[in-house]
Amino acid sequence: MKSYEIDGKTINLPENLSEVTVKQLIEIHNLGELTGSVSDVIKLINIFSATPIDINTIDLGSILEISVLFSAVLFENNKITPIDHFNIGKDVYFCQTPEELSVKEFIDFQEISKDPVSNLPLLLALVYKTKDEQEPEDEDYMAYLIAKKSKFMEIDAKTAQGCLLFFSSAFTNYVVSSLESLETTPEHKKMIMEIVKQMKGLDDGAGN
């Protein structure tokens, strides 16, 4: 983190994605397309400030420096590497193989992956589990996912994106290898490859 004295208080700003939480990444995503304007920089600073800042308290030199800092962080997605597990406290969450997912879990994953940033913690909640994690009853399914989603909001963005990349790559490889061993119609193959295309899109989309 890099500290700045702004509006009479110390504000710590991230120097890499490891210092950005998933919650903060989603807040940045929800700002929409950023142009690098002074107004955009102020919006980004406010995500990391406990209280709104007064724009008149920041000198132009600091604005330019902070703008460069944020640019380096936000474009770090091209350095993401796949991650198959991560820790939250004493709990270790491992990526499930495509074969281990239920049909319901995969349908949910496919649906919410249309917005991989806003739904990043929920996507991870579907495919990352502890070794002794018990499957919930149907009536408890949503509450179970929401509880995990809340927990995953606080992990760092670089780890979260690496986890999503690991699963999407594993799924793509699984489908491609399965197609090679199956007899199927061109129409069916086209449908399956559309799913693969969507999963490959997660590799690029989660960092934006």
Write out 38-60 in H/E/C secondary structure.
HHHHHHHHHHCCCCCCCHHHCCH
Cβ-in-10-Å burial (0-12, 13-18, 19+) of 167 comes to: buried
How far, in Å, CA of 149 to CA of 129, rounded? 12
CB 164 within 8 A of CB 130: no
Q: On the CB side of 202, how many CA atoms lie within 13 Å of its CA?
A: 31
CB 163 within 8 A of CB 86: yes
- pLDDT in the model for residue 208: 47
pTM: predicted TM-score of the whole model, two decimal places: 0.81
Cβ-in-10-Å burial (0-12, 13-18, 19+) of 70 comes to: buried
User: pLDDT truncated to tens, each residue of the chain (208 aa)?
Assistant: 999 888 888 899 999 999 999 999 999 999 998 888 888 999 999 999 988 888 888 888 888 999 999 988 887 655 788 999 999 999 999 999 888 888 888 888 888 888 889 999 999 999 999 999 988 888 898 899 999 999 999 999 999 999 999 998 888 887 777 666 665 666 666 666 666 666 656 655 554 4
Distance between first and last Cα of the chain: 21
- pLDDT in the model for residue 36: 80
Q: Which of 74, 76, 13 is nearest to 48 (CA)?
A: 13
How far, in Å, CA of 159 to CA of 156, rounded? 6
Name the H helices within the chain: 22-29, 38-47, 60-74, 103-112, 120-127, 141-152, 157-180, 186-205
How far, in Å, CA of 82 to CA of 106, rounded? 20
Amino acid identity, position 75 = F
Amino acid identity, position 153 = M
